[in-house]
Structure 1
Amino acid sequence: MNLTISGHHLEVTPSLKEYVLTKLDRVTRHFDQVVDINILLTVEKLKEKERRQKAEVTLHAKGKDIFVESAHEDLYAAIDELMDKLDRQVCRHKDRLQDHHHPSPKRQSLVDLQ
């Protein structure tokens, strides 16, 4: 799995990187077919008092690309919200990949006879 964490108008500190990695463990624990993850952390300077922290992630899994973004006043809160959204989407994707079809009773009786 390739992991890229980058910052826009922001220096990615080791503590920030460690926080993202600990939150990302939950997602990779649910779904192990992740090929590539790109995380972008940005600070948008709207006004002098208002600062909007934004976190985006693009997850390339086997069969699908998942994009999630979240914005908040606090960057750590934005990362928490982002990982919650990503976890829900990954679980939904995993459920869709699983085969929920059961063999028909007609075919099942033929298999049991053999």
Structure 2
Amino acid sequence: MQVSVTGRHVDVTEAMKQHVEDKISKLKRHFDHVTDIHVILTVEKLEQKAEATVQISGAVLFADDVQEDMYAAIDNMVDKLDRQIIKHKEKVQSHR
């Protein structure tokens, strides 16, 4: 699993990068076939935005979140991705 973190109008600190990688690592618990994750952190005036594109076998998932705190935006974005991955996994494994 390859994780890349990019910042727009913000310098991505080592602490931010480590927080993203720690949160993203929990996605691997639900689905092993995650190949590539690209995270973009953006600051626009008072809004902190975190968005991610995840490439998994059979689909490309996208989630984003806007908060006043960057770490809260990252947490909410990862929760959204987690729900999408679980839904995709159930869809792939259904034996209808």
TM class by shorter-chain length?
A: over 0.9
Deviation at 1:68, TM superposition (A): 0.4
| Alignment partner, residue 70 of structure 1 | 65
Q: 1:79 aligns with which of 70, 74, 83?
A: 74
Match runs of 1:84-95 below 5 Å: 84-95=79-90
CA RMSD of superposed structures (Å): 0.9
Amino acid across the alignment from 2:82: D
Amino acid across the alignment from 1:100: H
* Higher Cα radius of gyration: 1
Is residue 37 of structure 2 the alignment partner of residue 37 of structure 1?
A: yes
Q: Which has the higher contact order (CA 8 A, sep 6+)?
A: 2
Mapped to 1, the partners of 2:28 and 2:41 lie a distance apart of 20
| Alignment partner, residue 54 of structure 1 | 49
Match runs of 1:4-19 below 5 Å: 4-19=4-19
When the two structures are aligned, how many residues end up with a matched partner?
Answer: 96
Mapped to 2, the partners of 1:89 and 1:30 lie a distance apart of 11
Moved segments of 4+, more than 3 Å:
none
Q: Percent identity?
A: 46
- TM-score, with structure 1 as normaliser: 0.81
Q: Which one has the bigger strand percentage? A: 2
Deviation at 1:97, TM superposition (A): 0.6
Deviation at 1:99, TM superposition (A): 3.4
Mapped to 1, the partners of 2:21 and 2:28 lie a distance apart of 10
Mapped to 2, the partners of 1:73 and 1:99 lie a distance apart of 39
Deviation at 1:100, TM superposition (A): 2.5
Amino acid across the alignment from 2:20: V
Identify unmatched segments of 5+ residues in structure 1. Answer: 46-50, 102-114
